[in-house]
Chains A and B, each alone.
Chain A
């Protein structure tokens, strides 16, 4: 029925402010990142900032006291990637079971558990991170509890473990929620059918539930990986400043007013994330939805 003629003009007018806004404050700023990345302080074209990212070197003191020359920013990037991947994996391993438990619980319990998972997200992440510092530090709560059991204090702050704990804690809900929302919609009859056809509980999980929840798993992984690869506060606080991450590098250059180099790092990070996301999309389309 197309008898009622809509007034596309007024709808178009309703969108105009947002269209202009996103052009000015979403698209143009991204162009500025590229512009700054490829110019020097006088805004003359240069690729120095980009090459600096790949070639800058510095000396790192090894554990045995010897020094080794490393590619500074490549090392930082690989470290960020490593910590982010580990944190994402931990989030997935911890989060999948809880999402599954939630999806199988009574409806009322589901709602309560969902709220409970969301609550820590509403606490400022600076404060959450700082609270972990209170718990984990050498004279902190964890060590005083361990001490009561006669266990000698453990040093956690300033290790990679502390940074990973912080990342896992901060981004955990982003892993659970998408997986849960897929699992909750799962057709129970499929599981019953699998069981009727002789599947054991574990193989129902492995061969039916997990493959069907892949879209949730993938969006959970991207939603944890992206913020944890680009974070800059967690590593400063929980890593005691020892583990400089890519986000710290950008912030450091901003503080030092090297805007062009900061833009170059941000530009490279953005390209890598875009490529990664395109790859994920391709792989999902091919292997998850495309069937075997």
Chain B
């Protein structure tokens, strides 16, 4: 890499990491100030762990993200398996389009559209406030599933089509062939998809903001509430913890992906070797 390229990359990464560094440093600040660092202390972390509402919202976020991940991973994987075998062009185009919509539409429109429907249906049943945990869960599954499909579908397309056929020729029922042969092959895609769904759900603010109600507060919504008033370094402590948790998840998913591609390359080499014999 040339020196100019190194300097340029340095500037870009400084820009990208400056705010994160600020958060990390000021979460350990003794004083309440967010611009003058006085002394190292863990005071804000301690305070964070005594903040009932924040802990409650953390619990809510985790429950929601877990539920949304389980549902969207199962539904998305099934959908991808079906879409991979789909013959009807019309049906395929329709499914591709609906998968694209939540990803390309601005979050605010996805959020507003779901909210309008929930409110309308709620009113039909005479409910004054129809937004709650369940509407939030429906919304999260809706925007997570396309990402699972996009991770699983390529793995299905890469898979050797002869494998499940061979299994069935050897006496497996189609369902058994799926669980014994196809599922292990596409598992890395499912895991990355599930991790993506989980982090997206953890991180989402805009859609949650419009579709939650009845006092069900997730962490991002709580943070939004906190930033409306004066902010203490407590929020930075929270951000630091979230940062390291998501970083760990990201590294795990990278690791799964690397292992997978390493195995793929090994197999390719083996196949090539056999071919030349």
Contacts and interface: CB of A to CB of B under 8 A. Distances in A.
Interface of A: 4, 6-8, 10-15, 17-19, 21-23, 25-30, 32-33, 35-36, 94, 97-98, 101, 104-105, 109, 113, 115-120, 122-128, 130-132, 134-135, 137, 139-141, 144, 169, 172, 222, 226-227, 229-233, 237, 247, 250-251, 254, 259, 262-263, 266, 269-270, 273, 277
B107 A123 contact: no
Given A101-B8, A266-B112, A15 B82 contact: yes
A82 B79 CA distance: 40
Given A28-B117, A124-B220, A15 B23 contact: no
B22 A269 contact: no
Of the candidates B98, B141, B223, the one having the most CB atoms from chain A within 10 angstroms of its own CB is B98
Interface in B18-52: 18-20, 22-23, 26, 34-36
B179 interface: no
B246 interface: yes
B91 to A, nearest CB: 8
Contact of B15 (A115, A122, A169, A263): A169
Nearest to A7: B174
Interface in B90-105: 95, 98-99, 101-102, 104-105
Contacts of A140: 34-35
B117 A120 contact: no
A269 B34 CA distance: 37
Contact of A25 (B112, B142, B203): B142
What bracket does the count of chain B residues touching chain A fall in? 35 or more
A122 B142 contact: no
A134 B22 contact: yes
B112 A127 contact: no
A105 B2 CA distance: 10
B76 A18 contact: yes
Contacts of B106: 226-227, 229-230, 247, 269, 273
B17 to A, nearest CB: 7
30 contacts: A4-B165, A4-B169, A10-B174, A11-B86, A14-B81, A14-B82, A18-B79, A21-B141, A21-B145, A22-B145, A25-B114, A26-B101, A26-B102, A29-B113, A104-B1, A122-B247, A124-B205, A124-B219, A124-B239, A127-B23, A127-B235, A130-B227, A135-B22, A141-B35, A226-B104, A230-B109, A247-B108, A251-B108, A263-B116, A273-B106
